Every structure is written in C-alpha cells, then in structure tokens.
Amino acid sequence: MMFMTGEWLQQRLAALNKRVLEATNGSVHLEEHIALPAYGQIIARFQTDSVSSITEVDELERQIQGLAGEEFLVDFMGSVYRQLGVEYSRLDEINERLGQRFKEEPIQQGPYAEQIEKDAQTLLLQCGFSDTVPVWEIQWENDEYYLLLLGEKSRAIRSIACQPPIHVSEVNKARCDGLMRAAFAAKRMGVSLGRLMLEAMES
C-alpha cells in the first residue's frame, strides 16, 4: 500500500480538513493532496468560493498553516489564485522570478519525507526507472498516479498500463525549486503563495 493513498494519511488529512471547516464556518475545505518526494513534503491544497481579495487569501492561508503545523505545507487551488489575477499562462516566467527572488530560502523536509520517498521509489521501479531519479510530484487523481520527474524541460514521457495506471512526465527542476522556495518564504512571511506569484508577475 502506498503511503500517500493509505488509510493512516487519509485520516490525518481528514482531521485537518475537519479543523479547517470548523475554523472557517465551512467556507474552506480540503480539495486534494500531493506528495513532493524530492523536497520531502506533502502539500494539502484547499478550495473556497468565498474570497474576494488577496488579503483574505493571505489571512486564510496563514490560519490554515497554523492548524496544519509542521505536518503539511498548505496552499489554495490554482482556481482561487487565478480568480485573483494569477496568469497561469505565465507560470514558467513566474517560477523563474520566484527562484531568483528566493534563491536563498531554505527548503525543509516534513515529517513524512521518508515515507513519500519510498512511494516514489516504488513507482519509479514499476515504470522502469532507477529508484534514484528525483521526483517532483506524485498526484493521485481518478484512480491513477501521475509521476512528475525533475529534469530539464516539460514533456510527457510514458504511461504504464498497470493497475493502477501510472503516467510519467518531466518538469523543469529550476522552476520547481523556485516555486518550492517561494512556498517556504510565504509560510515564513505569513502570506499566501498566491501573493508572491502576483508579485512575481509584476516585477
């Protein structure tokens, strides 16, 4: 059983979601979680339809991160940031600018780093890769795994017709580093990742 889809982690995420629902009177809920093995973190990603400003998102993200503690990194779904002006067609540019701005920001591993690294190794071997290939993201969606490897460029690599299916892609490592460092900077500064993305667009 994979850790990121296993019952124990699902219970921990459900407990966090319950705390968030109670703290926000049901206006914010957990939408998905992803594992970032190369960085040792699990991201808990939230959704809401009740915000109208980046300041509100800042406050909510800070509140939710406080409820999550060091167990998870948190942010909002891209649709929330998009509603407030983040242009995802410029994501590569945004991530490059974030990387330049926060190049000294340390990346810290979370409490489940070892478990999600084992998940990555299992999936890599199933796909015929060395288990030392760095994995940016493991996503579980519609009963399928999506495995994103750190490399030079964004491209689809292969799909493995096993059960469950695994879809493998490559993404640019420098841009991923930039986004990850920005996530830690947002946590340290008590603002949302969306705010830093908006600032990167304007810089």
Q: Identify the three-state secondary structure at position 145.
A: strand
CA distance 143 to 165: 8
pLDDT tens, 71-125?
Answer: 999 999 999 999 999 999 999 999 999 999 999 999 999 999 999 999 999 999 9
Give Cα separations from 22 to 16, 71, 173, 200 (angstroms): 10, 19, 37, 33
Q: Please tell me the pTM assigned to this model.
A: 0.95
Q: Residue 6: CA atoms inside 13 Å, Cβ hemisphere, count? A: 11
Position 54 scores a pLDDT of 97
Q: Give the containing element (helix H, strand E) for 54.
A: helix 54-68
Q: What are the backbone angles phi and psi of residue 168, rounded to the nearest 5°?
A: -110, 130
Q: Identify the three-state secondary structure at position 26.
A: coil
Mean pLDDT for back-to-back runs of 10 residues, the chain (203 residues): 95 98 97 98 96 96 98 97 96 97 97 98 97 97 97 94 96 97 98 98 93
Position 1 scores a pLDDT of 79
Position 103 scores a pLDDT of 97
**Are the CB atoms for 3 and 115 separated by under 8 Å?**
yes
